[in-house]
């Protein structure tokens, strides 16, 4: 049997959701979550809300579930995403940037990304690095 999550917002929560929507400075996803909670609280069915806001029914159901189980903040705010850990710390990035600022090796007019990657490994700055990672590091330092 499917669990029905009933939404009954408190007056303070309704005013907070309405304020979030009216300010319009939050992400569109957060504003949509606020609208979902307000519409479900007003008595509309989850399927009607999903059609009205043009979002998936499961999204509406998940927002209602999070509100019921974890509260208002969990329902409207996004959880932090894990993402991939950084491969190179600030010191390694700084050393690669400094290396790029030096004169190119003999026989070359300037540093290439592959040349920088090979030299960084040779100098022991990093164990391994691709030329694309070197490009990303230099791109962020301008």
Torsion of CA 131, 132, 136, 142, to 10 degrees: 50
pTM: 0.59
Judge contact between 36 and 47, C-beta under 8 A: no
The pLDDT tens digits for 75-127 are: 999 888 778 778 888 899 999 999 999 999 999 999 999 999 999 999 999 99
CA distance 38 to 17: 8
The pLDDT tens digits for 28-74 are: 999 999 999 999 999 999 999 999 999 999 999 999 999 999 999 99
- 30 sits in which H/E element: helix 28-41
């Amino acid at each position: 049997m499917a669990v029905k999550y009933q939404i009954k917002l408190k007056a303070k929560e309704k005013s907070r959701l309405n304020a979030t929507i009216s300010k319009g400075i939050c992400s569109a996803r957060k504003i949509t979550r606020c609208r979902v909670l307000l519409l479900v609280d007003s008595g509309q069915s989850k399927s009607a809300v999903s059609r009205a806001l043009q979002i998936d029914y499961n999204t509406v159901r998940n927002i209602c579930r999070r509100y019921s189980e974890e509260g208002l903040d969990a329902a409207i705010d996004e959880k932090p995403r894990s993402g991939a850990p950084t491969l190179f710390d600030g010191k390694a990035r700084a050393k690669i940037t400094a290396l790029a600022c030096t004169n190119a090796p003999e026989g070359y007019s300037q540093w290439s990304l592959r040349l920088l990657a090979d030299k960084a490994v040779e100098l022991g700055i990093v164990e391994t690095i691709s030329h694309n990672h070197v490009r990303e590091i230099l791109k962020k330092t301008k």
